[in-house]
Chains A and B, each alone.
Chain A
Amino acid sequence: MTDLFYWISHWLREEILAIPGRVIALVFAIILFLVPHAIPNEYFISVLILATIYSIYAASWDLLSGYAGQVSFGHSAFFGIGCYSAALLNIHLSFLPLWITIPLGGISSVMGGLILSIPALRLKGMYFSLVSLAFPVILNNIVIGFPDITGGELGLFGIRGLSKSQEYNYYLVLIVALVSIFVLCKFTSMKTKSVRIAVLLSAIREDEISARASGINTPKYKILAFSMSAFFAGIAGGLYVHIIKIAGPSTLSIMFSFDVVLWSIFGGLTTIYGPVTGVFMLYPLTELIRIFPFGDEIRFILFSLILIFTLLFMPNGLTVWVRDQLEVDCPRCKNINIFLRKTCRICGADLHIPQ
């Protein structure tokens, strides 16, 4: 028992409290758990629920676009597929519990991702981004074209809620989001020894021809990134449809695809936590500003001005800039240190070697 306690305290001290970025993440997660008790406002919590769902969506975008380098402008296709399949399963096979139908929505989204990867694997760079924009538009037209199955423009109604009360909804969504983001972070971490995927994906992103020449099966890993990303986006879509209780074509709109790109680039690419931060800063901002007078008219003007100025001064994104201010990588052992230290906390090497 004392061993376990010692292990936990050691882990907290060495792996969490020593690294400022992780302290911020921990504090933020604790705040998210406490918010419904501190501010029991229904509108505020519903905005937070949607922000949590969108954070899964943004993190999944970052896996495909940040790590694998396949900048996708059509990510709402995956979200929409997850959304519509969860809704259809819920309506037509209503005896299935939600913890089966939502993952099934994610899996059908993976199927969609596999189909979309056929043209995507043939294209590179900007061309892929431009083509990916086509997918949600085509799906949107299919949805409007077959109103008998998909409900057309009005959408599908009569979907069960996620749970009894809003507070339960919030905690369920929050736990799913934390688990998904943790999985994505571990999956894409350069330091996880058992999973080499981050190294392989960044090799593909930096130079695909060299990666192939070094014996990496690039299509395999691209398809893997596609399916992982589509799965989590589909899960986000499934949760969304049970919160909103309508599956409408707005989940397949172009603006929704660009929203995730805006959030993620604002937060910082190839970090997973960057897009999450971006969502939690920008989405509540654009929603809560409605409360103020004239808020509805100026909210997108304010939104775009904030984006333009942030990107002008921090072109790598907000979290990357903050991280570079707070943390220093040890030049010898690559461990992360707080910016105040002069020597590495693990190996004692000088952190600020004059160039």
Chain B
Amino acid sequence: MIELLVINALVRAGVYSILAIGFSLVFSVARILNMAHTAFFMMAAFLLYFAISKLGIPFLLATFSIIILMGLFGLVVYRLLFDRVKAHQTATMMISFSLAILIQEVVKGIYSTQVHRIPPFISGFVQILNTRVSWQNVLVFCVSIGVIILIWILLKKTRWGNVIRAIADDIEIANLMGIDVGRMCSITVGISASLAAIAGILVGPLYMVEPNMWLSPFIIILAICVLGGMGSIKGAVIGSLILASVESVVIFLVPEGAYFKDGVALSVMIFMLLLRPEGIFGIVFEEERLL
């Protein structure tokens, strides 16, 4: 029981932290609250379903092409929609929300509201501490840790990472230093869309794929970003660990817990905010954003 709970929490936390990192990356670099972030995640899961069940493309090829496709999709969306109204924060927010509804409705139109299943990448189980864990869970956990480390290396050790952090720190000074801010912002949105795609591909075989699956993780990643502080990788990881374990405890221990998981997770968030209003690793001042 306890082992199952811990494994469930770790797997959830991995997926949530990938989503939350992508979301807060866009928020801190491009200053966009991208409400379509989890819609990208849902779209990637459906693309995977389409590629595997309908077209019969092998897993690895499908995965990589979907990640690249979603990255390009993010770039296009940024160039066509977000870039034009960036000065108006509320308008950008609502455009991204309408985009999320648009994606949801188009997917609903194609696949209707019924639930779809994707076969796991690796079938079978492995014995860890006298519990049977499916290889899929192990794979999701390992991949999410790998992705988090890769993103950390990208942001801290490479030239692009330096540029992205500079823009997050101060967009005007970065512009004065000769950084092409528009180009880097669109690249960041592309990276974030690819991250959402990775999360969607990981989640696809684990849970059910349906057009409404984006709303619940969206609320949770918002809570994670508030809890961990926007634009901090450490905060995102720890925030998602906290909220994912709360969710797992509620699902496993409370009868009909799946109904109440969002409410309990959000109550925990509000309670922690009353203790520390700036989030766990949050930044007290608006100007002082770090990645």
Contacts and interface: CB of A to CB of B under 8 A. Distances in A.
A258 B99 CA distance: 13
B247 interface: no
Interface string A130-143: 11011001101110
A188 B96 CA distance: 29
Nearest to B87: A315
B190 to A, nearest CB: 20
A145 B260 CA distance: 8
Nearest to A125: B286
A269 B90 contact: yes
A244 interface: no
A300 interface: yes
Nearest to A123: B277
Contacts of A149: none
Query: How large, as a class, is the contact surface on chain A?
Result: 35 or more
Interface string A248-285: 00000011001001100110010000000000000000
B270 A307 contact: no
B90 A71 contact: yes
A119 B273 contact: yes
B219 interface: yes
B102 interface: yes
Contacts of A22: none
A144 B225 CA distance: 27
Contact of A130 (B91, B97, B223): B223
Given A130-B225, A141-B260, A122 B277 contact: yes
Contact of B215 (A131, A254, A304, A312): A254
B106 interface: yes
Q: Interface residues of B: mostly helix, strand, loop or mixed?
A: helix
Nearest to B271: A119
Interface residues of B, number: 42
B94 A307 contact: yes
Interface string B216-235: 00010011011000100000
Nearest to B109: A297
Given A124-B286, A131-B269, A265-B91, A308 B99 contact: yes
Contact of B263 (A141, A265, A305, A307): A141
B111 interface: no
Interface string B235-276: 000000000000000000000000110111011011001100
A175 B195 CA distance: 51
A303 interface: yes
B105 interface: yes
Interface string B150-181: 00000000000000000000000000000000
Nearest to A122: B277
B95 interface: yes
A308 B177 CA distance: 34
A262 B264 contact: no
Nearest to B94: A265
A138 B85 contact: no
Most buried by A among B81, B88, B101, B219: B101
A301 interface: yes
B247 to A, nearest CB: 13
B85 A315 contact: yes
Given A127-B226, A304-B101, A308-B99, A134 B270 contact: yes
B183 interface: no
A312 B98 contact: no
A142 B94 contact: no
B269 A140 contact: no
B102 A301 contact: yes
Nearest to A65: B90
Given A130-B223, A262-B97, A308-B81, A137 B266 contact: yes
A316 interface: yes
A96 interface: no
A122 B85 CA distance: 29
A142 B109 CA distance: 33
A138 to B, nearest CB: 5
Contacts of A141: 259-260, 262-264
A126 interface: yes
A216 interface: no
Nearest to A66: B90
B102 A304 contact: yes
Contacts of A265: 90-91, 93-94
A265 B102 CA distance: 17
Nearest to A131: B226
B105 A133 contact: no
Given A307-B98, A311-B94, A315-B91, A300 B260 contact: no
A249 to B, nearest CB: 10
Contact of A119 (B27, B270, B286): B270
B33 interface: yes
B54 interface: no
Interface string B190-209: 00000000000000000000
Interface string B103-146: 01110010000000000000000000000000000000000000
25 contacts: A119-B274, A122-B273, A122-B274, A122-B277, A131-B226, A131-B273, A133-B219, A134-B266, A137-B219, A138-B263, A138-B266, A138-B267, A141-B260, A255-B215, A262-B94, A262-B98, A265-B94, A301-B102, A301-B105, A301-B109, A303-B98, A308-B98, A308-B99, A311-B91, A315-B91
Cβ-closest 6 pairs across A and B? A141-B263, A134-B266, A315-B91, A315-B88, A304-B98, A304-B102
Given A123-B273, A125-B286, A126-B230, 7 more contacts: A123-B277, A131-B270, A262-B94, A265-B93, A265-B94, A298-B109, A300-B101
